Structure 1
Amino acid sequence: MQPPRTPAETETALAAELRTVRPALLSPYAAGLPGARAAVLTRLWRGLAHEPLPWVTHRAAGPDGLTLRLADGRRLHGPRPDAYATATTVTEVELAGTAYEHPAALMTALELPHSRAFAAELAHSVASLALSRAGQVPSGAPRALWEWEQRVVDGHPFHPNCRSRPGFSVAEQLAYAPEHRPVVELGMVAVREDDCRSTGAWPYREAGRVLIPVHPWQARHVLKDEQPVGNGLAAHPLMSLRTLAVPGGPHVKTALSARLTSSVRDISVYSITSAATVSAFMESMAGRLDGLLHITRTLGAVSAGSPDLAAVSRESPDLYAGPGEQVVPVAALAAGIRPQSPAWLAQFSRLALTVGLRLLELGVALEAHGQNLLVVLSPAGTPVRLVYRDLADIRISPARLARHRIPVPDLTGRIVTDDESVLRSKLFGSLVAGTLAATAGSGPALREALRAAVRDLPRGPDLLALLREPVPAKALTLMRLSPERPGDSWARLPNPLAARPTDSPIGHSS
């Protein structure tokens, strides 16, 4: 078994592949490495500073920064972090008197359980981020939705694995990753109808067989015995990489059994069989919100009995733009592609919180992060309503639905819960600690936007919790260092709306 690569070896190996497949990117790739290291280190330091890590015994903030005392007696010191910032950059963190500029080197030096595996992911994240940035060229304003999505170059605004793509060669990243702007040819695998589970009206069929669109990476690395047949689909990859926009047609979510950021994402048989029910239910719930929210309907879903061979077809969000309007993924706003004023941010925050809180009161918690949530902009650029896509990770509360005399859908499994903390964490962790924080870019900007947004909202128990309690956020670093623990882990961030706002790091698990 070969020893793991050092960060430098990972970066050099990527450069060697690049020299073969795209030598013109070698120079911008090398020039982008220092910035990529700092970008990933910034995300990692935020996690170390704010998450409930069991091996951090004490945190002390002072005028010169933040010091963490570790269980083994060592001290970890870095800048005082803003839990909601995306515009600041951390270039160096000191562990036991040694300065580290590379996040993977720091993680290796910490010598924690699972830290070497996480360090390898961080090294890959740095190298892939430098590659993603190297291929960017100036161009005009995006027009199609997929063009907006392909402008989100840096990936997740808070996850250290923002661009980690283990299992992808350089050639495959260039061929399939959205920020490299490729057109991807999806293959079609033919399966007998009797061997499939499906819901909705599946559009791809041939001679009594069901045709399942397959991502070429999946076909090569996972479905080695399945040979695509017939004509495939030429499509534009979106932010999630495994979901692609068919020009003039639907968005197709494919199975892609690779680890992206936190986990290996598949399409479970459960999500296939429940897709039509969830879609119809959410369409009816959106109808209760006075036109402020649209749901991209699931058109059809199919599985050949395996999460490795499945696909979902759903509407394009572009269908919900009126004359002169534009649908923009919120992650593009957070990435600074369309900078907004404080007044605009307050308008958008009010719209997003109105929709999120009203749905939560009725009995649905959205996972409203910047990839799932889109905003419809008027011709003047004003946020007028929202579009939500990908219903796999929402949560539905039968008790709340019953209180409002709303029929409970025939669903079981993880999507159903009456746990108040789970429901609020799902919405607030994605919308406030994720979408709104990243769009605002800093704690102070988020505080001002939220103060303006909540001024006229009804003071129900969910809003009061948001006003008074720490803000839940997924503990992304802890989750990567705890692979044996299933499900989500949570941090509790300083509440920007508290009477005495503080940026002192705190953390609790739940």
Structure 2
Amino acid sequence: MTADEYAAAPLLNCLLREAADPAGDGDGVHRLRGSGRLLRVRAGRRPTGPELRDADGWHPLSHTDLVKLTADELRRYTGATNDELPAEMADSRAAIGALLAARAATTAPADPYVRSEQSLLMGHPHHPAPKARGGAPARSWLPYAPEAHGRFPLAFLALRADQVHEEGGAPAAELFGELADLAGAPPVPPGYVLLPAHPWQLELTSASPELLAAHADGRLLRLGTGTRPGWPTASVRTVYLPGPESDVFAKFSLDVRITNDVRRLWRHDLLALRRTDAAVAAAFAAVRARSGTTAAWTADRGYRTASFAFEELAVMVREGLRAHLVPGATPLLAAALAEGSVPGPLDRAADPVGWWRAYLRQVVPPVLELFARHGVVLEAHLQNTLIAVDGCGTPVQALFRDAEGVKLVPETGRAQGWQRLVYCLVVNHLSEIAGALADRHPGIAGELWPAAREEFRRYDAAHGLPEVRELLSAPTLPGKTNLLLRWTRADGAAARYVPLANPLRAPDAP
């Protein structure tokens, strides 16, 4: 695929979902709601070849043309203007071009897990600018880009002990120590505490008055870089540090807008981290003890930061995978399976329907169980879910992550929490995996959603969850409107939805 094709597919998905309707004038023809103009695409999960109709016929659109058309349509459709989003869409396209060029000169990592984390050239399939990097020149961010197979040592600071703010207790302290060992951290002077940092974040905040003052008066010292590199994962700001026997993740603030949000570790999220993560960890422990599931939660154990730069220098430590994996299993990022950017178990599945049933059995029950019995809403979307496969490529375990995205029913409300669960699990996740399977094995397309329906029914029959029955009879599901959210400059957490046809709906539903 070309950079234009990679960039156009998710933008078209957004435009067709949020601001167009099927025109009934041939396959792939849509009427844009703002102007009434006709747009034609080669239909599919990743639409391509956009063409606009005028008095002289159909005319192909480059990505630049598509951005201009989208901006014009949204101005007409919403009555709002936005100069930032078109620039982000152009930046995303330029970033993909830079990534393609960089990948041509690099070698993919040998580790299948790391390769899956670094494989997403397209990214979020329903976002208008999934690869935007804040408009910065490619040379400033390419060394830290997972999609370019980036690998780099962490930077290390020494923070005066009386300026440290941290939470997490002994588990976090142990992980910070493990992180220091795996990254080859330099020694820390007496009276100071080690503070890992993302080198790109240090570049972005180099002119911060607070940090300049802290360096000047000795509250903060530069120690240099570690001796062993880490691998940036799909989220860009999280770095994976594997060792011969253990592994750990470090998640940093990054003052760059990636998809909907500037990716800082925000104070309010950090202050809620321990309570949220503890609730999820306890729920997973109870589910594993009761049901025998192998599903696991990679806990966000704690964070450390400077009191004078709480968000700018925050770093969170997350448990590694090895302590949780079933023996002999290989973890893979679910988003990589959906995008199809690396060869994987979907391609070699001898029984693709059996593979899908195994996938559903690993992913669906734990998400439903945490909601039903513990009031925990996992953000079980493609980028927060790892699926571990055995030597034959069969799913044998699901691993979930990211306490930042977790919602607790007592706070968010049951109905709102369920809507979020359905969007993340079914629309964002299962629909994409089912689509990827059907792309590779077209003959099984009609069997996939009946199998998924059966898995949801099985859980309801065993445990009784009224929302499941409502889900299987609902005519529509909630589809998040990332294009309109960004166009109207809404907060990234203020999700808005449009109704999508429900593939889980039973044929005999009223």
TM-score normalized with structure 1 length:
0.79
For 1:262, the equivalent position in structure 2 comes to 260
Aligned counterparts of 1:194 and 1:462: Cα–Cα separation in 2: 50
Q: Which amino acid aligns with 1:229?
A: R
Query: Kindly tell me: are residues 176 and 114 of structure 1, through their superposed partners in 2, closer, same or farther at Cα, counting changes over 3 Å?
Result: farther
Q: Quick one: percent identity of the two aligned structures?
A: 27
1:428-439 to structure 2, matched below 5 A, reads 428-439=422-433
1:309-388 to structure 2, matched below 5 A, reads 309-336=313-340, 337=342, 338-340=344-346, 341-362=352-373, 363-388=375-400
Q: Of 184, 200, 218, which aligns to 1:217?
A: 200
Q: Which amino acid aligns with 1:245?
A: Y
For 1:170, the equivalent position in structure 2 comes to 138
1:42 partnered with 2:42: no
For 1:29, the equivalent position in structure 2 comes to none
For 1:288, the equivalent position in structure 2 comes to 286
Would the aligned equivalents of 1:239 and 1:371 in 2 still touch at CA under 8 Å? yes
Stretches of structure 1 that go unaligned for 5 or more consecutive residues are 1-31, 399-415, 502-510
SS at 1:230 equivalent? strand
Would the aligned equivalents of 1:61 and 1:80 in 2 still touch at CA under 8 Å? no
Would the aligned equivalents of 1:49 and 1:81 in 2 still touch at CA under 8 Å? no
Would the aligned equivalents of 1:472 and 1:491 in 2 still touch at CA under 8 Å? yes
Cα offset, 1:238, TM superposition: 0.7
Cα offset, 1:295, TM superposition: 1.1
SS at 2:166 equivalent? strand
For 1:483, the equivalent position in structure 2 comes to 489
Q: Which amino acid aligns with 1:179?
A: E
Aligned counterparts of 1:465 and 1:93: Cα–Cα separation in 2: 39
SS at 2:460 equivalent? coil
Would the aligned equivalents of 1:349 and 1:450 in 2 still touch at CA under 8 Å? yes
Aligned counterparts of 2:31 and 2:428: Cα–Cα separation in 1: 24
For 1:68, the equivalent position in structure 2 comes to 31
Whose helix fraction is larger, Structure 1's or Structure 2's?
2
Cα offset, 1:206, TM superposition: 5.0
Would the aligned equivalents of 2:166 and 2:303 in 1 still touch at CA under 8 Å? yes
1:316-348, CA deviations, whole angstroms, 9 ceiling, x for partnerless residues? 123322332111111121122214223212321
Would the aligned equivalents of 1:197 and 1:272 in 2 still touch at CA under 8 Å? no
For 1:89, the equivalent position in structure 2 comes to 47
For 2:183, the equivalent position in structure 1 comes to none
Query: Kindly tell me: are residues 208 and 425 of structure 1, through their superposed partners in 2, closer, same or farther at Cα, counting changes over 3 Å?
Result: farther
Aligned counterparts of 1:433 and 1:353: Cα–Cα separation in 2: 13
1:361-420, CA deviations, whole angstroms, 9 ceiling, x for partnerless residues? 12111101122111122233221221111111111123xxxxxxxxxxxxxxxxx32241
1:282-331, CA deviations, whole angstroms, 9 ceiling, x for partnerless residues? 11100122333211122331232422120101111233223321111111
Would the aligned equivalents of 1:328 and 1:375 in 2 still touch at CA under 8 Å? yes
TM-score normalized with structure 2 length:
0.79
Aligned counterparts of 1:339 and 1:438: Cα–Cα separation in 2: 15
Q: Which amino acid aligns with 2:86?
A: A
Q: Which amino acid aligns with 2:136?
A: F
Cα offset, 1:424, TM superposition: 1.6
For 1:409, the equivalent position in structure 2 comes to none
1:20-59, CA deviations, whole angstroms, 9 ceiling, x for partnerless residues? xxxxxxxxxxxx6xx32233222222222222x5xx6x65
1:110-133, CA deviations, whole angstroms, 9 ceiling, x for partnerless residues? 362344322211111112122223
Q: Which amino acid aligns with 2:17?
A: H
Would the aligned equivalents of 1:142 and 1:148 in 2 still touch at CA under 8 Å? no
Would the aligned equivalents of 1:107 and 1:116 in 2 still touch at CA under 8 Å? no
Q: Which amino acid aligns with 1:291?
A: T
Query: Kindly tell me: are residues 334 and 328 of structure 1, through their superposed partners in 2, closer, same or farther at Cα, counting changes over 3 Å?
Result: same
Q: Which amino acid aligns with 1:70?
A: R
1:131 partnered with 2:98: yes
Would the aligned equivalents of 2:295 and 2:362 in 1 still touch at CA under 8 Å? no
Query: Kindly tell me: are residues 316 and 395 of structure 1, through their superposed partners in 2, closer, same or farther at Cα, counting changes over 3 Å?
Result: same
SS at 1:250 equivalent? strand
1:44-75, CA deviations, whole angstroms, 9 ceiling, x for partnerless residues? 22222222x5xx6x65444343332534x442
1:88-487 to structure 2, matched below 5 A, reads 88-94=46-52, 99-102=60-63, 103-110=66-73, 112=75, 113-136=80-103, 142-143=110-111, 145-200=113-168, 201-202=172-173, 203=176, 207-225=190-208, 226=211, 229-233=222-226, 234-248=229-243, 249-289=247-287, 290-305=292-307, 306-336=310-340, 337=342, 338-340=344-346, 341-362=352-373, 363-398=375-410, 416-420=411-415, 422-441=416-435, 444=445, 447-459=449-461, 460-469=465-474, 470-484=476-490, 487=494
Q: Which has the higher contact order (CA 8 A, sep 6+)?
A: 1
Q: Which amino acid aligns with 1:303?
A: T
For 1:7, the equivalent position in structure 2 comes to none
SS at 1:160 equivalent? coil
Would the aligned equivalents of 1:347 and 1:453 in 2 still touch at CA under 8 Å? no
Aligned counterparts of 2:127 and 2:368: Cα–Cα separation in 1: 25
Aligned counterparts of 1:374 and 1:111: Cα–Cα separation in 2: 36
Would the aligned equivalents of 1:258 and 1:265 in 2 still touch at CA under 8 Å? yes
Query: Kindly tell me: are residues 269 and 303 of structure 1, through their superposed partners in 2, closer, same or farther at Cα, counting changes over 3 Å?
Result: farther
Aligned counterparts of 1:142 and 1:158: Cα–Cα separation in 2: 29
Would the aligned equivalents of 1:39 and 1:90 in 2 still touch at CA under 8 Å? no
SS at 1:302 equivalent? strand
Cα offset, 1:142, TM superposition: 4.5
Aligned counterparts of 1:229 and 1:287: Cα–Cα separation in 2: 40
- Count of residue pairs the alignment pairs up: 441
Q: Which amino acid aligns with 1:214?
A: A
Q: State the Cα RMSD in Å.
A: 2.8
SS at 1:161 equivalent? coil
Which of 236-245 and 132-141 deviates more? 132-141
Q: Which amino acid aligns with 1:317?
A: L
Would the aligned equivalents of 1:370 and 1:435 in 2 still touch at CA under 8 Å? yes
Would the aligned equivalents of 2:88 and 2:135 in 1 still touch at CA under 8 Å? no
Aligned counterparts of 2:490 and 2:296: Cα–Cα separation in 1: 37
Would the aligned equivalents of 1:214 and 1:254 in 2 still touch at CA under 8 Å? yes
